[in-house]
Amino acid sequence: MNNSLHWDLESILENSTLDELKDKYFQQNEEILNLFKENIFSSKEKLIFFHALSLRQQITSNRLFNYLSNKHNEDLSNNQWFGLMQEIQTKSIPFMQAMSSFSDQAIKNKENILEFLKDPQLAPHQRSYELIFKYEKHDLPPDIKSFSATYSPLSSCFSSIFTLILDKELKVKTVKDSNNNKHELPNYAAFIKTQTDNDRKLRKNAYLAWHEAVHSSRESLARLMYYNFLEQNIDAKNSNFPGGYYEASAYADEIPLTFIPALYERVKGFSTLWRKYRRIFRELLKKNYQLKLLQPWDLRMPIIKKEDQNITIEEAKTLTLEALQILGPEYINNISKALNERWIDWEARKDKLSGAYCISGSYGLEKKYILMNYNSKLEDVYTLVHELGHAMHALEYCKYQSHYAGTTIFIAEIPSTLNELLLSYHLIKKYQNDTHKLLEVYDNLISGFFSTTLSQIIFSEWEYEVNQLINNGAVLDADLAENIFREKQEKYYGKKPKLTPLRKKALTSILTVPHFYSEEFYVYKYSVGQVVSLLIAEKIKNDAEYISKFFEFLRAGNSLSNLDTIKILDIDLEKATTWKTVKKVVKEWLEEYEQLSKKI
């Protein structure tokens, strides 16, 4: 293995062994527990010491669990790391049971705490306690919380089973290309790679084999999804959220219940522009590949036919540095570190987790690790800058925050999506004299916008409706899941294609969206990220001083509510003018795209 292409997880251990890190974790847990038993809310000094000790424990926990989870994701077939995580979580149950009464004790000692918060050493914790007090009427009784804590090893069971099914156990038959060569499809990443291959027979066979395999597991996937959502809704109702999982999620995100349905309506306003884009896109595909009729396995092909698209990792690094130069020398210096100091695991390998991510819970870690499955395509460069956006965000809030050194999913997609836009804007300048490449960039820009607005909102409204049904006693099966997905596609895309056997099988893909297992009402936040990042990019292009606001936003971490954090950027998502600006920009992109298409 080329070490320069493999992340350096050993630096997480900081010259200690894994056993020493585990021992430190349990020792700190014991120290916290002993202190907590002394009634930390009885004196200001005890509370100050408790929070200092908790911060040190958080760093140890971040190091330990990031090391184990990333080692596991390197090779899902090796159960050593998963077993260790389960062992640690099981041994942590008594600690978690005891600490589950923290919020109850805080609420009981509210008057003392409000007085203590006047001290400068405790003042930074004010928002944390405000959020605890906010949940007073939603707090479970201490004995119930203690009982619930015993189930912590099961916290990611649905997600874990889903990942195993999709990345390891899905029975996808071997497929052949036009030269009769055989190809294995061990996971989704391998399947997607075939869909941009010039060999149409391979694309077709892979498409049919993948969707056949997913469809054959449709009832298992639907049942797993049902129990996943059912658990979330039961937990929410038990916490006095009659609206279930959706209401609890909106409350946690500090947004009004009307915000998400209003967002759905705003995004639906892009449907006409999407239809125009797809018309141009499909005509370009037919023309450039000399196809009379487009099939589903043609729709991921680049609009410009290439014998080989091979962007090396070094070329990807160069493009990244050039594109993000606009964000200033400090940002670029940190990007260079990430690219060249082994923050990234680059290569796709058998049994490696598919997709890409940047780690969370990284306070106390010097490197904000990124997992990639790099396939040398332009879309992989977009994935790279996206994940680097997460990493740079974490670097900033970890530097400027301690108690609020984190982010929410609501905010997290903004800096990552911004980087994708900046890459597109850079490539537009770079390729001004190359119509083919310029057209390809505009296609990436526009398709990226619609995939993170319309497509994600289709997923989100599907999730919303399914959860409403489950919360009211319905049972989700594969037919219901697919029918609702079909309805949402027709609503947002404005088309009602015939339901062929092939299309019916493709509808099962709604049951393979991993974000539905995040235990958060998640996917609509991609739309928020896209819209806000587009507005930031426009502001940065027109006002160099605006970058200071962007860095203020990055450094805020969890110190403010979601909507207040976005307002640092002078952006208000609840105003109609905000959405008019976005629509105007996308319309301009489409006009340029259409003009370029006529030159091909």
Whether the CB-CB separation of 109 and 41 falls below 8 Å is answered with yes
Based on the fold, state whether residues 463 and 581 are members of the same structural domain: yes
Q: Kindly state whether residues 583 and 571 are assigned to the same domain.
A: yes
In a domain, 385, yes or no: no
Distance CA 304, CA 11 (A): 43
Q: How far, in Å, CA of 427 to CA of 442, rounded?
A: 9
| Nearest of 218, 243, 225 to residue 233 by alpha carbon | 243
- Is 392 part of a structural domain of the chain? no
- Measured over the CA atoms of residue 230, residue 232, residue 233 and residue 235, the dihedral's sign is positive
Q: What is the Cα 52 distance to its own chain's centre?
A: 30
Residue type, 115: E
Tokens representing residue 221 in the block: 């996937």
CA torsion 203-204-208-213 (nearest 10°) is -20
| Model confidence, pTM | 0.87
Q: What is the DSSP letter of 140?
A: P
In this structure, the answer to whether residues 70 and 33 fall within a common structural domain is yes
Q: Both tokens of residue 432?
A: 């001004």
134, 155, 176 — which closes off a domain? 155
Shared-domain flag, residues 277 and 136:
no
**DSSP annotation string for 37-56:** TTTGGG-HHHHHHHHHHHHH
Answer for the pair 93, 152: CB distance below 8 angstroms, yes or no: yes
CB proximity list for 17: less than 8 A, separation 6 or greater: none
Give the tokens for residue 338.
């990430």
Cα-only R_g, the chain: 25
pLDDT tens for the chain, residues 1 to 600:
578 899 999 999 999 999 999 999 999 999 999 999 999 999 999 999 999 999 999 999 999 999 999 999 999 999 999 999 999 999 999 999 899 889 999 999 999 999 999 999 999 999 999 999 999 999 888 778 777 878 777 778 899 899 888 888 898 999 999 999 999 998 888 899 899 999 999 999 999 999 999 999 999 999 999 999 999 999 999 999 999 999 999 999 999 999 999 999 999 999 999 999 999 999 999 999 999 999 999 999 989 876 567 899 999 999 999 999 999 999 999 999 999 999 999 999 989 998 899 999 999 999 999 999 999 988 899 999 999 999 999 999 999 999 999 999 899 999 999 999 999 999 999 999 999 999 999 999 999 999 999 999 999 999 999 999 999 999 999 999 999 999 999 999 988 888 899 999 999 999 999 989 888 898 999 999 999 999 999 999 989 899 999 999 999 999 999 999 999 999 999 999 999 999 999 999 999 999 999 998
Q: Residue 1 has what pLDDT?
A: 57
Shared domain check, 600 and 464? yes
Range of the domain at 54: 3-155
| 413 within domain boundaries | no
Which CATH number characterizes residue 165's domain? 1.10.287.830
Q: Give the integer Cα–Cα distance in Å for 55 and 48.
A: 11
Q: Is residue 484 part of a domain?
A: yes
Contact 372, 380 (CB under 8 A): yes
555/568 Cα distance (integer angstroms): 11
Write the secondary structure of 346-406 as one string of H (helix), E (strand) and C (coil). EECCCCCCCCCEECCCCCCCCCCCEEEEECCCHHHHHHHHHHHHHHHHHHHHHHHCCCCCC
358 backbone dihedrals φ, ψ, rounded to 5°: -110, 140
* Token pair 């979330």: residue: 232
For residues 569 and 536, is the Cβ–Cβ distance under 8 A?
Answer: yes
Q: Is residue 339 part of a domain?
A: no
Cα angle value 537/538/544 (rounded, 5°) = 80
Of the CA atoms within 13 Å of residue 69, those in its CB half-sphere come to 18
Q: How many domains does the chain have?
A: 3
**What is the spatial order of strands in the sheet that 344-347 belongs to?**
344-347, 370-374, 357-358
Choose the final residue of a domain: 155, 173, 199. 155
**Which residue spans within 471-523 are E strands per DSSP?**
none
Are residue 233 and residue 272 in the same domain, yes or no?
Answer: yes
Q: How far, in Å, CA of 54 to CA of 38, rounded?
A: 15
Residues 6+ apart with CB under 8 A from 307: 198
What are the CA-CA distances from residue 80 to residues 65, 76, 84, 479 (Å)?
14, 10, 6, 38
Question: Is 551 domain-assigned?
Answer: yes
Task: Examine the domain organization and report whether 171 and 127 are in the same domain.
Answer: no
Q: What is the CATH number of the domain that holds 270?
A: 1.10.1370.20
| Inside any domain, residue 356 | no
Helical axes 218-238 vs 157-164, angle rounded to 10°:
170
DSSP string over 252-308: HTT--TTHHHHHHHHHHTTHHHHHHHHHHHHHHHHHHHT-SS--GGGTTS-SS--S-
Can you read off the two tokens belonging to residue 493?
Answer: 């895309």
User: Taking CA 301 as the corner, what is the angle to CA 297 and CA 303, rounded to the nearest 5 degrees?
Assistant: 135
Tell me the angle at which helices 409-430 and 313-323 cross, rounded to the nearest 10 degrees.
Answer: 100
Q: Is residue 242 part of a domain?
A: yes
Round to whole Å and give the CA distance between 63 and 65.
6
- The CATH number linked to 115 is 1.20.140.70
For residues 497 and 565, membership in a common domain is answered with yes
Query: Do 60 and 98 fall into the same domain?
Result: yes
Residue 521's beta-bridge partner residues?
A: none
454, 449, 444, 493: which is closest to 585 by C-alpha? 449
Give the pLDDT confidence score for residue 151 in this predicted structure: 77
How are the residues of the chain apportioned to helix, strand and coil, as percentages rounded to the nearest 5? 70, 0, 30
Strand partners, 347: 374
Helices (runs of H) and strands (runs of E) counted in the chain: 27, 5
Assign 176 to helix, strand or coil: strand
CA distance 263 to 457: 9
* Both structure tokens of 309: 């698209």
How far apart are alpha carbons 95 and 82 in whole angstroms? 21
Helix (H) or strand (E) run with residue 71 in it: helix 44-74
452 and 600 assigned to the same domain: yes
| Shared domain check, 269 and 199 | no
Which pair of tokens denotes residue 324?
């993000």
Residue 476 DSSP code: -
Please tell me whether residue 172 adopts helix, strand or coil conformation.
coil
Asked if 414 and 563 count as a contact pair (C-beta separation under 8 A), the reply is no
Residue where a domain terminates, one of 140, 155, 170: 155
Shared domain for 180 and 275, answered yes or no, is: no
